[in-house]
């Protein structure tokens, strides 16, 4: 798998991909927070103080965890409360989900709707979390974040290739029979899964995110619940593929089409509410 190859020297591959453009990076404060979260010797109270020092991040985290899309049963009133309630791995997943959206550059292009791209990502993530709550409650946060970030290679590849990405994207939008990853591979020699994996390796994402970003078009297999849910979510867009997603949900989870379609409506509505809150 290409993931093993890129582990050798992702920065070299990124330089080759980006050419004259610089790599989007996390701010130093985010790197410090992630480092503290990954260090079991750092007290959670100190992690909370680091997060609280970034007002924008604090607001975004609280809005996320208190949204219907995230679905906590307990109202979170402070970052200290969030960190103690959720623990290291779940807080890390939320920090990453907020930080990636801030770090990826959004080029103003008439032919690519960044607002809709992120809205779709939040819809899929909200649906993934609801599925995880039914079938694997311990992986709710991971399923949410893995699905939210599984397609980060699309805006990153757009950033790297600029106008040369336009015919690929427009063909994908206008031909529901086409597969975006195949069009990208044919044009650029790599697809958004590979481009996203390079970025995730550079940012030192945890293993479950590398897997979700690097192989979500490879089919739904294995026993890992986060992987199965994340792989299923790539059928959520375009709309023409949602019928297949409903069929796969019945096959894999035994969820009736009626129940799954209700779950989709609830999840998408909650995601729209969250996205509006994050934008305000």
Give the single-character DSSP code of 87. Answer: -
> The tokens of 204 are what?
């030192």
> The tokens of 89 are what?
């791995």
> The tokens of 241 are what?
């593929």
pLDDT at residue 19 greater than cutoff 90: no
Coil vs helix vs strand at 179: coil
Contact 61, 51 (CB under 8 A): yes
Q: What is the pLDDT of residue 239?
A: 54
Dihedral (CA of 192, 198, 199, 205) sign: positive
Coil vs helix vs strand at 131: helix
Q: What is the pLDDT of residue 23?
A: 83
Most confident residue range from 145-149, 166-170, 275-279: 166-170
What tens digit of pLDDT does each residue of 196-218 get? 999 998 888 988 888 888 876 66
Mean pLDDT of 222-232: 75
Which listed CATH number (1.10.3210.10, 3.20.20.10, 2.160.20.10, 3.40.50.300) goes with 107-280? 1.10.3210.10
Mean pLDDT of 22-51: 93
3-state helix, strand, coil in the chain (%, to 5): 75, 0, 25
Q: What is the pLDDT of residue 212?
A: 85
Q: What's the whole-model pTM score?
A: 0.88
Q: What is the pLDDT of residue 5?
A: 47
Mean pLDDT of 95-122: 90
Q: What is the pLDDT of residue 267?
A: 92
Confidence of residue 1 (pLDDT cuts 50, 70, 90): very low
Confidence of residue 244 (pLDDT cuts 50, 70, 90): confident
Mean pLDDT of 111-124: 92
Please, what is the average pLDDT of the chain?
Answer: 87
Dihedral (CA of 76, 80, 83, 84) sign: negative
With residue 145 as reference, give the H or E element that holds it.
helix 140-149
The two counts, helices (H) then strands (E), for the chain are 17, 0
Domain boundaries, given as residue ranges, for the chain: 26-103, 107-280
């Amino acid at each position: 798998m290409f993931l093993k190859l890129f582990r050798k020297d992702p920065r070299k591959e990124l330089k080759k991909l980006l050419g004259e453009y610089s790599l989007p990076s996390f701010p130093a404060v985010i790197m410090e927070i992630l480092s503290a979260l990954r260090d079991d010797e750092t007290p959670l109270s100190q992690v909370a103080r680091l997060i609280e020092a970034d007002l924008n991040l604090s607001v975004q985290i609280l809005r996320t965890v208190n949204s219907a899309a995230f679905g906590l049963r307990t109202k979170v009133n402070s970052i200290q409360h969030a960190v103690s309630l959720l623990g290291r791995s779940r807080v890390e997943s939320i920090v990453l989900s907020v930080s990636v959206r801030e770090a990826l550059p959004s080029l103003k292009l008439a032919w690519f709707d960044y607002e809709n791209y992120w809205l779709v990502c939040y819809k899929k993530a909200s649906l993934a979390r609801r599925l995880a709550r039914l079938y694997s409650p311990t992986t709710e946060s991971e399923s949410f974040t893995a699905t939210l970030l599984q397609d980060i290679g699309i805006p990153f590849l757009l950033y790297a290739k600029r106008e040369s990405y336009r015919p690929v994207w427009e063909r994908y939008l206008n031909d529901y029979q086409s597969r975006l990853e195949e069009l990208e591979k044919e044009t650029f020699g790599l697809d958004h899964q590979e481009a996203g994996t390079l970025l995730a390796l550079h940012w030192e994402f945890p293993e479950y995110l590398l897997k979700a970003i690097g192989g979500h078009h490879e089919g739904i297999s294995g026993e890992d619940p986060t992987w199965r849910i994340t792989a299923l979510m790539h059928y959520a867009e375009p709309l023409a593929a949602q019928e297949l997603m409903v069929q796969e949900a019945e096959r894999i989870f035994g969820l009736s089409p009626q129940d799954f379609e209700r779950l989709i409506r609830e999840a998408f509505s909650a995601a729209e509410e969250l996205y509006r809150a994050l934008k305000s």
